[in-house]
Amino acid sequence: MNILILNGSPRQNGTTAAMVDAFTEGAREALHKLDVVPICQRKTAGCLACEFCHTKGRGHCVQKDDMQEVYPLLEEAEVLVLASPIYYHNFSGQLQCAINRIYALDNPKNLKKAALFLSSGDNHMYTGAIYEYQQSFLNYLHLEDLGIYTLHEKQNHKEELFGALRQLGKTLK
C-alpha cells in the first residue's frame, strides 16, 4: 500500500511523533511505501478561497509553497494518516492549513482509507478534530476508517497503544 502521513506536530520528538514512529515501524516491516511529511517544518499557507484550483488551475493551487511537494504524494496515496497534537480542541494550525489546501485536489484519485492519530494533555480535547476527520475525510471523500488513536499525557497504557499502531501498519491491506 502507498501510505501518506501528514504529521502536524511541531515537536519532532513528542508524543505525536512517537505515535507516527510506531505506525511506520509496522508499515515498513510490511514493506508498504511510506511518505511522512512533517507539516510544521514546511511552509504551507492557508487556502485563499480564490477557486483558481477549480477553474483555471484544474486541480493546481495558485500558491507555490511546500504544498506543491505534498500534492503528488496525495494523488498517489491509498491511505492517508493525519497525526496531530490537539490545540484548543482541534488540529495544529499548520496541519489545518494543509488540510484546507487538499481542497485543490477535491478528491485524491487513489485515496481509499484514512486513520487519525491525536495526542493531548487532556483526554477531553479531541471532539473538534474527530468531527472534522469524520465529516471532511470519511464522509465527504468516502474513505474507509482505519481508526482513531488517541494518547493523552496521563495515559498509563502507552506501550499498548504503540503496539496497536505497529500492528495497524503491519496489517494494512
126 vs 116: CA distance, rounded Å: 11
Residue 71 has pLDDT above 70, yes or no: yes
**Cα(23)–Cα(2) distance, integer angstroms:** 14
Residue 138 has pLDDT above 70, yes or no: yes
Query: What is the average pLDDT value for the chain, to the nearest integer?
Result: 93
Instruction: Supply the pTM of this predicted model.
Output: 0.94
| Grid cell digits, residue 98 | 494543509
Instruction: Please report, for residues 63, 69, 131, 135, the alpha-carbon distance to residue 49 in angstroms, rounded to integers and kept in the order given.
Output: 11, 20, 22, 20
Average pLDDT, integer, range 35-45: 96
Instruction: Give the pairing of strands 33-38 and 2-7.
Output: parallel
Type of residue found at 138: L
Q: What pLDDT, on a 0 to 100 scale, did the predictor assign at position 80? A: 97
Interstrand relation of 113-120 and 33-38 (parallel, antiparallel or unpaired): unpaired
Share of the chain above pLDDT 90, in %: 83
107: confidence class by pLDDT, cuts 50, 70, 90: confident
List pLDDT tens digits, range 26-39: 999 999 999 999 99
Given a cut of 90, is residue 58 above it in pLDDT?
no
Cell digits for 4? 501518506
pLDDT band at 120, cuts 50/70/90?
very high
pLDDT at 156: 57
Q: Is the pLDDT of residue 155 over 80?
A: no
Q: What is the pLDDT of residue 20?
A: 97
Residue 117 is inside which H or E element, if any?
Answer: strand 113-120
